[in-house]
Structure 1
Amino acid sequence: MNNELNDDTNKGSSILIVDDNPKNLQVLASILRTSNYKVAMVKDGAKAIKFISSRKPDLILLDIMMPELDGFEVCQKLKQSKTSKDIPIIFISALSETEDKVKGFEAGGVDYITKPFQQQEVLARVKTHLDLRNAYKKLKQAYKDIEIAAKTDSMTKLSNRLDIIEKIKYEQRKYQRSGNPFSLILSDIDNFKLFNDKYGHDCGDFILIAVADIIKSGIRKQDTAARWGGEEFLILLPETDKPGGESTAIKIRERLISKTFEYNEHPHKISMTFGISTFNGQGIDNCIKMADEALYKGKTSGKNCIVLSD
């Protein structure tokens, strides 16, 4: 029976029992331990709240009739806290009237077990809500992964165009409140077509990833680097003026030209050209355009350089 009511997914899950009756604590703990759950016990609501502030169980079995704080009050307090609001709570009580069960659900409980306890029922209800909790966590992670994928360039793992545009708009709103400028660096790998034509597109991909890593190592935590398209990269530098943008570009350029990248036993030297603009209320499109024009000026004047917009 126990194997049917538990599985490897829930094995080792932690359960907190809250009841002022020592006999009830021992009975429930004994039932739960037959299915290899980790059990903790406290005798009142205040101790339960204190326990959960430092250790977060996977599920709570909560008695209703307790001194000082009853189960309904404890449940409401836990559901109001960010750290405990997602923990499923099953009420345990000798109260079996419909209105008591409804009150428990309204307080935030997910289920209701009446005393005296039946082992099979306890294990079945516990397993059901642990399964639901695990499924919910997996679903949240899946949505998070999808959101990250939608904002990330799959090859370089940098932000994509959509993500950095959102972040630039956010910096624009900050500028409207504070007046602090931000800078953009638009950069392009010099002679990138030669890597693809001479060594193949796999080599080109290797170069893109290597450049992305160099860029990430040369910016601050609050900065954002994105693959703008092809071999172009756009870097957003919040609260940074033009000299600050130039300083960042110099750091990235120096790291690139000082390193030799080896692909299939062929050494490669990589250089980039950088165009820098600073936002001072001229509009996002114009700011990007100014960085692009500075980049173009650098490309036509010999490459491997840094050009500041007018």
Structure 2
Amino acid sequence: MARPKKKKSVVRKVVLSFISVIGVLIIAAGVYAGVLHQKAMSAVHKIAAAEYQSSQHEQSERPVPQTENVSEDDLKPKTFLLTGIDNREGSGGTMNTDVMMLVTLNPETKSASLLSIPRDLKITLEGQSSHKANYYFAHNYIKDKSTAMEETKKQFGDLFHLPIDYMVMINFDGFRQAIDAVGGLDIDVDMDMRYQDTADGTDINLTKGLQHLDGKQTLDFVRYRKSNDGSSPSSDFDRNKRQQIVLNQMLDKLTSLNGISQWGHILDIIGDNVKTDIPEDSLTRWIMNFRKMKPDTTSLLTVEGDWKSPFVYWNEEDLKQAMENLYSNIGLQYKGKHNLGEHLGLYSKPSQK
């Protein structure tokens, strides 16, 4: 039985907030000298993970430039695939992408467009059976970790007929560690939450009401779906709202941090939980020239969705408008010549009379 999705998914705000956290953390390192600056550069080195770098983006042995101005190539339009992965301890090493976003960035016009891809969106690649969107990176990772990002970028680039330059992967267990690092959060839990799963070690036991949560409890708060007996259900949209509440509090906490020890710990956590195939020298230039690279305007693109177990289906008309925006932001024209319906789960709105 189909159930309508809300038009505006909070997941876009979640990823935007997390990106803001990363930017604030690393840029703020400039406030402190010496040790903390080295911590920031160490975090960049970890984020630009060598094991995910394609052969064309191999890292050199020379020192990474730290204050070099952005190049002409840096200012060219770019497309990213942003992913969030729940790979917490006890999860069995799953690499399913719980959050996926297509992002086009135009540094010259200082604009960005973001399209959230539902984790359950039906995708059928050429010559393959249908899978949910969150299947592909995990599948590629199991086959070959070193080519997982490159292969996933190619699959989604071919799918949307939009070449993807880079992929960014965020392990959301880093939030748990970061929350503990700032001393926990005061959260108004919206309902009683009880769920256990011995297979992956999940043990959620939260009571409705305002309370102080540590990192593990906060992660339980944002992950909760339903109780073991199926009662007290919580949709993905509810989870996205909770993630936004947590992220807003985290940003407030981070602005109050001071001193090398506190910032240093957070930078270590970021370095350990964010990975990308962006070359290290490019990533360093972008971060050190953050004001030139960051967009002044951001378009959060909306595609209405409909859930028919086990997949989510996108509205065809909404998707066409979103694709036009993504293309336009990087100087291309989307002519609608690609039949995305052959590979994506789509539906059309009934005609109104």
Instruction: Tell me which protein shows more helix as a share of its residues.
Output: 1
- Select the structure of larger CA radius of gyration: 1
Do they fold alike, i.e. is TM over 0.5?
Answer: no
Q: Which has the higher contact order (CA 8 A, sep 6+)?
A: 2
Q: Give me the TM-score of the superposition, normalised by structure 2.
A: 0.17
Q: Give me the TM-score of the superposition, normalised by structure 1.
A: 0.18
